Amino acid sequence: MSSLILDDFTDLIERPDGGVRRDADERRERQDVHPGALGRLDDLAEWLSAAQSEVPVKPIERPRAVLFAGDHGVAELGVSARAAGGAADLVRAVLAGESPAAVLARRLDVPVRVVDMALDCAEDALPAEVAGHRVRRGSGRIDIEDALTQEEAEQAVRAGIALADEEADAGTDLVVLGDVSVGGTTPAATLIAALCGTDASVVTGRGGAPIDDLAWMRKCAAVRDSLRRARPMLGDQMQLLAAVGGADLAAMTGFLLQCAVRRTPVILDGVVSAAAALVAQRVAFRAPDWWLAGHDSGEPAQAKALDRMALEPLLTHGVKVGEGVGALLAVPLVRAAAALSAEMPAAEPSPAEPSEPSTAREDGE
């Protein structure tokens, strides 16, 4: 397998069409409802128009929630309210339609795809379509060892790229990106602290299933020790993901980069997807133009990452459960923006005034 060069994404990713966005803004000014009266819905509609290269914007008809799943060895330290190695149970709840994400997705008519990248269970314990991209059984304990080998990190990134291509080829017009993990917020906080140049205590939150003070102190210590291992890797994002990321985070990074290449808009969920997005931004600075921040989960690391990428959350409900739930809640808002922009009538543009014939004499006449 040839080596994957992440820097190539810098040239592959273009910004959404600025000319189309200006056309969408001009059309909005010709609608009866005064510009600005719909608040951020106007910005969302113009962003979608630019992403689609369409005026008026097309409705969102084929959204998909893609959830990357994995267990993280650092959970052995008691940094999570859930038992280490328990992410497979969360995945089963999603597949059974019983998790918060599954319930919301069903009501919103958003199909859910779960991808096992590093669950700590036997591969045959889950359907083949879930386990087919698995890189390893659980990611390493990042405070003392690498999460992945270099080969595993590249395999995970390639899997994310392939999945993004599959979604684009299937006509997916909006992706909700989330994670199903145990211990995932610790490597996420480590990646964000490393890339933002901040200390462990600034980025360490209480996680999706809130932890007590003692567990929070253990988590701070784990992030601190992992940061020591992360800082020498800042010049190489693949090495960084291998050292202190995990197979799910590496796959999400590749997925986000390729979604930007394929011009597929993405709604980010919580701190784990924000961490992957921050790594992807470090690879290709134009990539965040294709993403929305679905919500503010209250995790300090997520806020740090979104600020660095200049992404403003659409919602602030304090949803911490993960699994794409916060991002799913933003889907109706994005659909509403598209519908209002496309279905409110707009007056025809005024004909251009004819230019006055020039009366100036040419030089030499």
Q: Name the residue with higher pLDDT: 206 or 154.
A: 154
Residue 362 above 60 pLDDT? no
Could you tell me the residue ranges of all domains in the chain?
63-331
- Of 123-137, 215-229, 278-292, 348-362, the poorest mean pLDDT is in 348-362
The mean pLDDT of 170-193, rounded to a whole number, is 97
- Residue 48: what residue type? L
Instruction: Read off the pTM.
Output: 0.93
pLDDT for res 210? 77
The pLDDT-based confidence of 355 (bands split at 50, 70, 90) is very low
Is 323 considered catalytic here?
A: yes
Side-by-side strand order, sheet with 291-293: 112-118, 63-71, 174-182, 266-268, 291-293
Q: Which residue has the higher pLDDT, 358 or 289?
A: 289
pLDDT at site 352: 56
List the catalytic residue out of 151, 323, 343, 353: 323
pLDDT above 80 (res 292): yes
* Contact by Cβ (8 Å): 300, 202: yes
Tell me which of 3.20.20.60, 3.40.50.10210, 3.40.50.2000, 3.40.630.30 is the CATH number of domain 63-331: 3.40.50.10210
What distances in angstroms separate CA 344 from CA 10, 58, 166, 351, one per listed residue? 37, 13, 34, 21
Three-class SS state of 15 = coil
Q: Does pLDDT of 264 surpass 70?
A: yes
Mean pLDDT of 225-252: 97
How many Cβ atoms are within 10 Å of 21's Cβ, its own excluded? 21
Question: Which of these, 125, 95, 127, 98, lies nearest to 112 by C-alpha position?
Answer: 95
188 burial via Cβ count (<10 Å: 0-12, 13-18, 19+): buried
For the cut 80, the answer to whether the pLDDT of residue 351 exceeds it is no
Average pLDDT, the chain: 93
Q: How many CA atoms lie within 13 A of 214 on its CB side?
A: 3
Q: Count other Cβ atoms within 10 Å, centred on residue 39.
A: 9
